[in-house]
Chains A and B, each alone.
Chain A
């Protein structure tokens, strides 16, 4: 989907902050991903037009970064850390449990990630880049269920607050 009129305005505001327009690729890709739930080909083409580079250059940049989801993902992207502190505090067990539990749930995408800078309360995960710490397999499941039931409001898939968090 093309940028909504509101987001298009914001996109041009973001563009104007930088001495060179190409710098706006990352923030605009975040904006598009929050709007569309992933980073689509169409969005990358539109960003290329706004920034003034080729669509291939936008793809070349965006494909380097793990936060940009070019394939279909769930409404909730759950990033579980298994790096060296979470490793010895139960992170792999949380990951394994969630992978099994949500294997066929289209709403939820479980991914393994590197250190989230939350090691003081390991093991940790993020749901759409919101932190949840000191987890057990059980508590991690409860948190995801709370999002699914609407008791917790998720950020966008790029971590923006719905309605302009990329300001």
Chain B
């Protein structure tokens, strides 16, 4: 190993994952929750001026959305038009970004923490009816939330006149039905209204006209699960964690060819190398191998490689965006060792985007299909050396300039996301891909035996 900027023995900083790690046997129950300090932050918040919570706590904490875009949460709340009611809080629990598995864990293992965050946030923004949009496939997560809501009402943490404060709140728990695009906030709202889950043109932004055309805040599960801890610690204190404008902790879902795949909550600012190699985190590449490339931020992001420059980059949302044009996005880090055929991974991503395109815009609907077909032939032994340039041309029609952060000819960023794997292949694996095409080399056949070597991690 070469230069190490971060601590080689980086460890977790457990704030929102503390309870579910400390008491896995009952972290999702109301008793497990209240016995470990749960709902105390709500009790304290209800004594404060609602406006002060957004401005003096959440904004001061520097909290930024954990759903993908990293938008400052306090700023988003401040966009709600004054005096316009009813207004809604909609929780984005649709987690479908490939290789992201943190929200599912938070929903299944600490649903009351989310409900407490929703209650505090609803009080802060003046909302009396909140919605949790849970990914349809999360059958257990849905049940846990239904039970948690029922128990919270019975204990007086939800419902009318919560803890004697005069504040009322109910939560509708709503299941999706299988469509990645419903994670995009305007598509999510359409889906929640009972329509096909297709994104809407902005403006108007949801904060002005969202669910049922009323002012609406959409926030991610992890974002809202953090709110009780900001109240508990104080915004200024929370802001001391992390680095620059990436404050606090985030859960990173580490998967692929590492010895210890799993969810790790770490302080922002440690490096990708720490996350992938530290014995208490990813535990290094399986079989003592090396990182060939990794995808930070979920499938939509461009890739990074096993170079020191990339591995030693800090987990800082702005730094990685400005320096490498990649994003921390949803907090997924997929690691691939040197046995991996990057064209095969790019093809599978393209297949995903082609399948999930909602079909509303032509460049995305048609372009994602083209990208998928050309990447299929490249990765399965039928490619032509000029195919990579053909792909860049198709990509340029969806995301002119092929830069990150991307420009778009489409209503939502899904179309441009499908271009990320293409640009990444071009940047880092151009010669390998062209050689593959010249040799008609077919895809590596991946077997379960290949993967059996990796010691299973904590699971979630």
Chain A contact residues, CB within 8 Å of chain B:
17-20, 22-27, 29-30, 51, 53, 60-62, 64-68, 79, 82-85, 87-90, 92-94, 114-123, 126, 128-131, 133-137, 155, 159-161, 165-167
B100 at interface, CB cutoff 8 A: yes
Chain A residues positioned under 8 Å from B458 (CB to CB): 120
Tell me which residues across on chain A come within 8 A of B178, comparing CB atoms: 65-68
Instruction: From the candidates A19, A64, A87, A136, name the one contacting B179 in the complex (CB within 8 A).
Output: A64
Instruction: Output the least CB separation between A106 and chain B (Å).
Output: 23
Nearest-CB residue, chain B, relative to A17: B172
Residues of B within 8 A of A79 (CB): 137
The reply to whether A29 and B177 form a contact with Cβ atoms under 8 Å apart is: yes
Q: Are A117's CB and B340's CB within 8 A?
A: no
User: What is the CA–CA distance of A54 and B450 in the complex, to the nearest angstrom?
Assistant: 52
Residue of B nearest to A166 (CB): B175
- Binary CB contact string for chain B from 98 to 113 against chain A (1 if under 8 A, 0 otherwise): 1111011000000000
Residues of B close to A53: CB separation below 8 A? 194
Q: Which residues of B contact A64 (CB under 8 A)?
A: 179, 196-197, 358
Residues in chain B within 8 A of chain A (CB atoms): 95-101, 103-104, 129, 135-140, 142-143, 146, 172, 174-180, 191-197, 212, 253-257, 261-263, 295, 299, 332, 334, 336, 340, 344-345, 348-349, 352, 355-356, 358, 446-452, 454, 456-460
Does A117 lie within 8 Å of B263, measured CB to CB? no
Given A19-B212, A115-B96, answer yes or no on A120-B129 (Cβ-Cβ < 8 Å).
Answer: no
CB distance from A156 to the nearest CB of B (A): 9
Which of A30, A83, A120 sits near B98, CB closer than 8 Å?
A83
A114 touches B99 (CB 8 A): no
The reply to whether B193 and A115 contact each other, CB–CB distance below 8 Å, is: no
Given contacts A17-B172, A89-B451, contact A115 B99 (CB under 8 A): yes
Closest 6 CB pairs of A and B: A90-B448, A159-B139, A22-B194, A65-B177, A67-B178, A66-B178
Chain A residues lying within 8 Å of B256, measured Cβ to Cβ, are 85, 88-89, 119, 122
Partner of A117, one of B104, B172, B345, B457: B104
Contact of B137 among A19, A22, A129, A167 (CB under 8 A): A129
Contact A118 B101 (CB under 8 A): yes
Decide: A122 near B261, CB < 8 A? Known: A23-B194, A65-B176, A65-B177: yes
What are 28 pairs between A and B in contact, CB < 8 Å?
A26-B175, A53-B194, A65-B197, A66-B178, A83-B99, A83-B299, A85-B99, A85-B256, A87-B345, A88-B451, A89-B448, A90-B447, A115-B299, A116-B137, A119-B332, A119-B334, A120-B101, A120-B261, A120-B457, A122-B255, A128-B139, A129-B137, A130-B140, A155-B139, A161-B143, A165-B139, A165-B143, A166-B175
Which residue in B180, B345, B451, B460 is a CB contact (below 8 Å) of A120? B460
Contact B143 A26 (CB under 8 A): no
User: Across the interface, do B98 and A85 meet the contact criterion of CB distance under 8 Å?
Assistant: yes
A22 to B336, CA, bound (A): 44
Given the known interface contacts A84-B334, A115-B99, the answer about A68 and B352 at a Cβ–Cβ threshold of 8 Å is no
B33 CB to nearest A CB, Å: 20
Smallest CB separation, B130 vs chain A (Å): 12
Docked-complex contact A120 and B194, CB < 8 angstroms = no
